[in-house]
Amino acid sequence: MKQIEVYAASFGIQPTTVIQRGGGMSGSKWAAWLNGASCSMRTADKIRQYMADNPPKNRNQNEAA
């Protein structure tokens, strides 16, 4: 969950947006996870793959643009 929070913060979006885009899940799933619900490895892998495929630009790239 920390990875999702850090990734979301780098884009200025909410973690719920990341799981919607990367996992095809509703934003309410994030709240469920915060309250102790579990996430399948398949879902976690899907979200991690989304984040890997869509990395945030680093500052040097942003400044050059």
Identity of the residue numbered 42: R
Contact yes or no for 51/3 (Cβ under 8 A)? yes
Sign of the CA dihedral running 52, 36, 9, 25? positive
Query: 13 lies in which domain range?
Result: 2-56
What is the predicted pLDDT for the residue at 44?
A: 94
Decide if 63 is inside a domain: no
pLDDT by 10-residue block (mean), the chain, 65 residues? 95 96 92 94 96 83 48
Give, rounded to a whole angstrom, the gap between the first and last alpha carbons of the chain: 31
Predicted structure pTM score: 0.81
Decide if 25 is inside a domain: yes
- Between CA 59 and CA 57 the distance in angstroms is 7
Decide if 16 is inside a domain: yes
Identity of the residue numbered 26: S
